[in-house]
Amino acid sequence: MKLLRKLLCTLVLIPGFQSFAQQFYSEDIDRFWKTYDLIRTEKDSIRQYQILKDNYISPASAGLTDLIAARNYSDAEFLTAINSYPEFWSSIRKNTLNSQKYVPQIKADFAKLKSLYPKLSVVPVYFCIGALRCNGTGNNGKILIGSEMALADDSANYNQLPEWMHAYYAKMHPLDNLSLLCTHEYIHTQQKPLLENLLCASLYEGIAEFISCLATGKESNIPAFSIWEKQKPEILTKYKEDLFLTDRLYDWMWGNNSNALKERDLGYVVGFKIAEAYYRKASDKKRAITELIELDYTNDAAVETVVDYSGLLGKSIGQLHSEYESRRPTVISVAPFGTDKTVKPGHITITLKFSQPLNGYNTGLDFGPLGEEHVIKFSKAIGWNNDFTEWSFEAELQPDFRYQLLVSNNFRLANGVRLKPFLIDIATSAR
């Protein structure tokens, strides 16, 4: 963070930190507490659903409506949260009802962001109360704050909450970082949609975190930053190993600490460091900010330019992808066909032989280019051999017909590296 602090010292000299017009809405919070009190005094569960609907869901602001949709909150989830954690709700009530108290600081930080990125468009801010799965998000041109999470301070009593939620309230100091959160989410409303892969997700979140810290003069409160300096080589090595593995996204982003390093949200940190390095190297800082915020995640060349120019990963994305491709297993033979393209019809056992032992669990067969009508339909799965280098199944082939079967990349090694897809394309002879 030393570079960031140096940059911040110069940032305060930039003119134009004037007031930035913004609308803040908090009526959903008032409606929530009215609803909460009614539900807590009503024992009939059917009646509770009606109270929730009539008093909170139906009259919801546009912001709360979007928050519910964005996080797919259900009525049952709201009621479970209300009925299960009374000590928690009691402990955060005062802070949530005082949401307007925090508006001046948020406005001041928005003005700083406007100086850094003059193209910033005005979007409304909604203080809502959700069901404990979102502290904030930028959605449909709105900043949506989950106040039950974002407005909690050290007085929050989280003992009744599920164990996995404790770290958020204990370590993140949400209320102290409310303005930074709002600025982070503001940047999301200006960004282009992300593609859900590890690299794009890391950049999407990391850019928002870096620029919000740069603009506000605040350091990130993401706990994963605490291990970066000590474990940087290990983090980057593991990140590069996982970069092209589609099932590893939530090990690095938006999940719990189920990854090998036992620390959640490390993808935010990697993305932050890429953005920071890109900004540091840029001769035109204003242009760099614009390029980062307006990055087109559907443009592979643009994404790779940012990452490669930063130099953080040590090698270009092209080099890393080539190395990944070289590690992928392949189908080396299909018995009993061999290289034959015309085969006898009838009942057969088909065996796929792989270049490396696979994980012995994941499989995947799909239609070929000719579609479902021409797919080889297996009648029985035989399964794996002892060392997981072969997988077999039985099928019935009709005469004088063309068949296809795509052996998909759902087959994989034990470390998650996916099989290169392989198309079986054969024709049967006449009887």
User: Mind listing the pLDDT tens digit of every residue in the chain (431 residues)?
Assistant: 444 444 444 343 333 444 556 899 999 999 999 999 999 999 999 999 999 999 999 999 999 999 999 999 999 999 999 999 999 999 999 999 999 999 999 999 999 999 999 999 999 999 999 999 999 999 999 999 999 999 999 999 999 999 989 989 998 899 999 999 999 999 999 999 999 899 999 999 999 999 999 999 999 998 899 999 999 999 999 999 999 998 889 889 987 666 777 788 899 999 999 999 999 999 999 999 999 999 999 999 999 999 999 999 999 999 999 999 999 999 999 999 888 889 999 999 999 999 999 999 999 999 999 999 999 988 899 999 999 999 999 999 999 999 999 999 999 999 999 999 999 999 999 87
Class of domain 331-428: mainly beta
Tokens at residue 377, please? 């339909």
| Pairing outcome for strands 142-146 and 331-335 | unpaired
Domain extents in the chain: 19-190, 192-327, 331-428
pTM above 0.85, yes or no: yes
Q: Is 229 left (phi over 0), alpha (psi -120 to 50) or beta?
A: alpha
